[in-house]
Amino acid sequence: VRFDSGVLLLSTHRLIWRDQKNHECCIAIPLSQIVFIEEQAAGIGKSAKIVVHLHPASSNKEPGPFQSSKYSYIKLSFKEHGQIEFYRRLSEEITHRRWENVPAAQTMQVNKSPQVPVRGQRQLAVSVILNDVITLNCNVCFLLQAFEDLSKLMDKAKEMVELSKSIANKIKEKQGDITEDETVRFKSYLLSMGIANPVTRETHGSGTHYHMQLAKQLAGILQTPLEERGGIMSLTEVYCLVNRARGLELLSPEDLVNACKMLESLKLPLRLRIFDSGVMVIELQSHNEEEMVASALETVSEKGSLTADEFAKLVGMSVLLAKERLLLAEKMGHLCRDDSVEGLRFYPNLFMTQS
Amino acid sequence: QAKYKERGTVLAEDQLAQMSKQLDMFKTNLEEFASKHKQEIRKNPQFRVQFQDMCATIGVDPLASGKGFWSEMLGVGDFYYELGVQIIEVCLALKHRNGGLITLEELHQQVLKGRGKFAQDVSQDDLLRAIKKLKVLGNGFGIIPVGGTYLIQSVPAELNMDHTVVLQLAEKKGYVTVSEIKSSLKWETERAQQVLEHLLKEGMAWLDTQAAGDPQYWLPALFTELYSQEITPEEAKEAIP
């Protein structure tokens, strides 16, 4: 008999399996009923399992899904991973026997009584004896406590979201009456909670003090790397460079973008530039991409024609940025393209130079 | 008039003060949760899924900023942002092989290899979440559903609905022909050819004219034989931009 997909929960007192789709279907076994457990490794076509050997049911056992089974054990089947970790934890709980000392938690949203009868179609006649081993498929496994604590935490987080919405609405209504200072404070609260900024983004941008500080830091960190790379780097390169250097307390991609958006207004020696293709780069203020186009034209003319790959290798740039430079040159009229299945190749635009 | 204005600012100030207090309390709750379950989040991919889903349901993005409480106290930020770096590196290293398209499976395998034996377990769900965050860097990262799994795009090539549908068609065998497209999708020849040419130009498809019958357009991203092929030292050099 199989129960197809479920959540397996472990508490100090019980092993609980709950059907993922039908939450009413829930099976619980007191840990005190477990004699021992053994692992069955996965094989070809077989998932990893834990076999749970049980004491014979006592006569005062409350109604459960089955009155009795031919077998004195059930199987927990793990289609994906989780078996090893769960086996370890279940072993620990059985060894420590904490159910003897720790009172069972009062709040159990998972089920209503210690041994829950299965409702609905799965309810079998009381006198049935099973011929098959009961196998519970476990897609998800948690410690029950962790799961409950998480739910409670989320309830509190939800309150914060509601509060922030109400404040955002007030701001929308008042328009001009909220001070700059208050806006900044509000934005930093939203940042801490990870709540998207619904109102003030359009009017004040997503930046906060944190992003301002970050922008200044970046200006310091990136000066040399930019110089080493011809004055221009893609934002992706910057993300990797900065985070590898940090090791801990990494920047999120959004942090980086929000900080870079403030570079120009803070009059820092770097700026963010977005190409037509959507590619985002950081340039030194002293860098002039349009001037670089002139030298690109020379390089292409020398060779007759170049693809982005070839140009990148010659000049020592990333292919991504090489392509953007050639596209810019094309946009400015210096190059023209030959777009075939062989690839995209750029030629000097003779219509411009020879008239 | 001035009195109304005053009331307005006082209300906002009150609510902000309230939010500030509640924020402090929440921070304490989160710290408590972290002290008990931080390890669970790090070690249990399924718990991470549960965590992420619940955050999404209530309208919170725990990965928006490294400065957010979630990131600072639970360490979820570092986990995903570092994963982002690893994903970028793998995609860059393999780009010349597959044109910037890679299956989620292959990406998963390569990332796990790069992380080494003693690193935390990383699931495909984790990769998808990290990739969704990377998009904002303007690098063309995208997630294309094909046949029950996903193709990950890592170059700023424009792939519209037509291209996506052909990729999905090609997923079954790893290649597709013009006549297959015409019969499955009921397109004219020209439309099918335009899509295939675009994929060829981007390096995402290779043309096999030697095949008996129709020329076959193969997607290197779907070549299962190339899976778990080591990244060569030359490719690894490409990976550090």
Query: Does the beta-carbon distance from B45 to A235 stay under 8 Å?
Result: no
What is the pLDDT averaged over residues A32-38? 90
Q: What is the pLDDT of residue A215?
A: 95
Q: Which residue of B has its CA nearest to A261?
A: B137
How sure is the predictor about A193, in pLDDT bands with cuts at 50, 70 and 90?
A: very high
Q: How far apart are CA A121 and CA A124, in angstroms?
A: 8
Q: What pLDDT band is residue A354 in, cutting at 50, 70 and 90?
A: low
**Whether residue A127 has pLDDT greater than 50:** no
Give CA separation, A247 vs A244, A250, A277, B148, in Å: 5, 7, 31, 35
Closest in A153, A170, A340 to B29, CB measured: A153
pLDDT at A122 over 70: no
Closest CA to B84 of B57, B111, B65: B111
φ, ψ at A50 (rounded to 5°): -120, 130
Separation CA A311–CA B2 (nearest Å): 65
Contacts of the segment A306-312: beta carbons below 8 A, 24+ positions apart: A306/A345, A306/A346, A307/A343, A307/A344, A307/A345, A307/A346, A308/A344, A308/A346, A309/A343, A311/A346
Under an 8 A CB cutoff, do B201 and A151 touch? no
How confident is chain B (241 residues) per 10-residue block, as mean pLDDT?
Answer: 53 81 94 92 85 91 94 92 96 90 93 86 92 93 91 92 93 91 94 92 88 87 68 73 53
Predicted ipTM of the assembly: 0.88
Is it the case that residue A128 has pLDDT exceeding 70?
A: no
Mutate to test the interface with B, among A193, A307, A340 (most CBs of B within 10 A): A193
Percent of chain A with pLDDT over 70: 82
Q: Which of B60, B108, B198 to mutate to test the interface with A (most CBs of A within 10 A)?
A: B60
A139: which chain B residues are within 8 Å (Cβ-Cβ)? 46
pLDDT of residue B70: 94
A253 pLDDT band, cuts 50/70/90, is very high
- Structural domains in chain A, CATH included, are 6-99 (2.30.29.30), 153-202 (no CATH), 206-265 (1.10.10.10), 289-352 (1.10.10.10)
Q: Does pLDDT of A353 surpass 60?
A: yes
Amino acid A123: pLDDT:
35
Going from N- to C-terminal start, the domains of chain B cover 1-60, 82-222
User: Which residue among A147, A167, A239 sits closest to B19, beta carbon to beta carbon?
Assistant: A167
pLDDT score of B173: 87
CA distance B165 to B181: 9
Q: Residue A83: which H helix or E strand, with range?
A: helix A83-96
Q: How many helices (H) and strands (E) does chain B have?
A: 10, 6
A-chain residues near B43 (CB < 8 A): 85
Over range A159-186, report the average pLDDT. Answer: 80
C-alpha to C-alpha distances, A209 to A185, A193, A194, B152, nearest whole angstrom: 9, 16, 16, 35
* pLDDT mean across residues, chain A: 82
Instruction: Quickly count: other Cβ atoms within 10 Å of residue B219's Cβ.
Output: 24
Residues with Cβ < 8 Å from A269, sequence gap 6 or more? A219, A223, A284, A285, A286
* Nearest CA distance, B172 vs chain A (angstrom): 22
Which range of A131-135, A187-191, B30-34, B48-52 scores highest in mean pLDDT? It is B30-34
Contacts of A7 in chain B (CB under 8 A): none
Q: Cα dist. A41→A49, A80, B45 in Å?
A: 6, 12, 20
Residue range A76-93: average pLDDT? 86
Q: Residue A105 pLDDT more than 90?
A: no
Say yes or no to pLDDT of A65 above 60: no
Which residues in chain B are closer than 8 Å to A234, comparing Cβ atoms?
Answer: 139, 241
**Cβ-defined contact of B241 to A236 (cutoff 8 Å):** yes
Judge whether residue A179 has pLDDT over 80: no
Set of chain B residues whose Cβ sits within 8 Å of the Cβ of A232: none
Q: Tokens 């002290």 identify what position?
A: B35
Subunit contact A145:B58, Cβ cutoff 8 A: no
Q: How many whole angstroms separate alpha carbon A22 and alpha carbon A328?
A: 58
Bridge partners (DSSP) listed for residue A264: none
Which one of A199, A252, A257, A273 makes the best mutation probe of the B interface by having the most chain B beta carbons within 10 Å?
A252
Query: In whole angstroms, what is the distance from residue A203 CA to residue A186 CA?
Result: 14
The per-residue pLDDT for A262 is 92
* Per-residue pLDDT, A129: 54
Pairwise CB contact (< 8 Å): B43 & A85: yes
Q: Which of A11, A7, A9 is nearest to A22 (CA)?
A: A7
CA distance A102 to A114: 16
Fold topology of B82-222: Arc Repressor Mutant, subunit A (1.10.10)
Q: Using a CB-CB distance cutoff of 8 angstroms, which residues of chain A are in contact with residue B88?
A: 236, 239-240
Low-confidence winner among A176-185, A303-312, B4-13 (lowest mean pLDDT): B4-13
Are A207 and A262 a contacting pair, CB within 8 Å? yes
- A137-151, A152-166, A281-295, B99-113: which has the minimum mean pLDDT? A137-151
CB < 8 Å to B9, chain A: 174, 177-179
Residues of chain B with C-beta less than 8 angstroms from the C-beta of A251: 66, 81
Strand partners, B103: B151
Q: How confident is the model at residue A118 (pLDDT cuts 50, 70, 90)?
A: very low
- B241/A240 touch (CB, cutoff 8 Å), yes or no: yes
CB contact under 8 A, B85 and A194: no
Pick among B25, B35, B65 to test the A interface (most A CBs inside 10 A) = B65
pLDDT at A336 exceeding the cut of 80? yes
Q: What is the mean pLDDT of residues A281-286?
A: 93
Give residue B28's pLDDT.
Answer: 95
